[in-house]
Structure 1
Amino acid sequence: MTLHHKWAAVPPIHLVESEADIISDLAWAARDRFPDICQLLLEEVGRASLYAPGKLPDDVVTIGSDVTYRDTKDGVARRVRLVYPSHADVALGHISIFTPIGAALIGMRVGASILWPDRNGHLRDIIIDAVVQAPAT
């Protein structure tokens, strides 16, 4: 069963074309180790609106973004930086896209909410409150 059939309303996803390609490649390469997360990531990439570099709106969560989100269950705001798996460091708040919350955040816009499974398989409703893009290098 796909993500679309599990939950009725899923928000639009926005990705830079090159980032979508990298995420797809990583998900395919890791599908034996992380089958559920990889399936969710591939489904998200498959339904995403794709943008040329420099054309993605600033309020969209991308790799390297600092994101403030709330879980509606506890109302607590959390701030994380979304990163590729090789750069993940929970102590620094650098969360991999291969975590349930990381997969939920990628491509979301400020104000959007989504139901997403946590590590225990329970559905959580998260809302994106703020996105700060990484400085251009």
Structure 2
Amino acid sequence: MHRDRTAEKRPPIAIDANHFAKLSALSLLTRGPIMEVCEYLREELDRAHVLPAETLRPDIVSLGSQVEFREEQTGTVQEIILVYPLDADITRRRVSVLTPVGAALLGLSVNQTISFHTRTGEKRELTVLKVRRAV
């Protein structure tokens, strides 16, 4: 996940205050293969507007959101549910917030686009198409 984040302009994001402390604690994991994702998540949390859950708009990606997004390089549309690491299950399209895609989507709203880098250093750009709370 090598990147020059100083050159990237990222869209504004908002985070549910109920999840903020837990996400902050998760972002402090600094060993192993997720170290760079944790660093990226910390940066995202640092720039986020933290809002009470009841005021967070339903079109903003939060933990438990079902998110439809498009990968701009390929035009591929995917749908996932953003979850905490212990609830991740790729076969059920449950993607951890401690993955590059999960950390990038967190806090975005419909029609926002974000650039990020994969663990292999590849630059990706995602656009949020739909958000709804998973049941």
TM-score, structure 1 as length reference? 0.91
RMSD: 1.6
Deviations 1:14-37 (CA, angstroms, capped at 9, x unpaired) = 001121111011111x22132100
How far apart, CA to CA, are the structure 2 residues paired with 1:4 and 1:18?
A: 27
Q: Between Structure 1 and Structure 2, how many residues are aligned?
A: 133
Quick one: which amino acid aligns to residue 12 of structure 2? P
Q: Does 1:127 align with 2:127?
A: yes
Cα 1:18–1:86, aligned 2, differ >3 Å: closer, same or farther? same
1:54 is paired with a residue whose SS is helix
Which residue in 1 is equivalent to 2:16? 16
Residues in 2 aligned to 1:128 and 1:70: alpha-carbon distance in whole angstroms: 7
- After superposition, residues 71-82 of structure 1 pair within 5 angstroms as 71-82=71-82
Distance across 2 between alignment mates of 1:119 and 1:6: 18
Q: How does 1:1-137 map to 2 (within 5 A)?
A: 4-7=5-8, 9-28=9-28, 30-33=29-32, 34-135=34-135
Q: Retained in 2: the 8 A contact 1:2–1:43?
A: no
Q: In structure 1, list runs of 5 or more residues that go unmatched.
A: none
Structure 2: where are the runs of 5+ without partners? none
- Deviating above 3 A after TM superposition, structure 1's stretches of 4 or more consecutive aligned residues are 1-4
Letter paired with 2:119: R
Is the CA contact 1:16–1:51 (under 8 Å) kept in the aligned structure 2?
Answer: yes
Q: Which protein has greater RCO, CA pairs closer than 8 Å, 6+ apart?
A: 2
The percent of aligned pairs where both chains have the same amino acid is: 30
Alpha-carbon distance between aligned partners in 2 of 1:2 and 1:46, rounded to the nearest angstrom: 18
Offset of 1:73 from its aligned partner?
0.8
CA distance in 2, matches of 1:50, 1:4: 22
SS at match of 1:63: coil
Q: Secondary structure at the match of 1:130?
A: strand
By how many angstroms is 1:53 displaced?
A: 2.1
2:13 and 2:107 in contact (8 A); partners too: yes
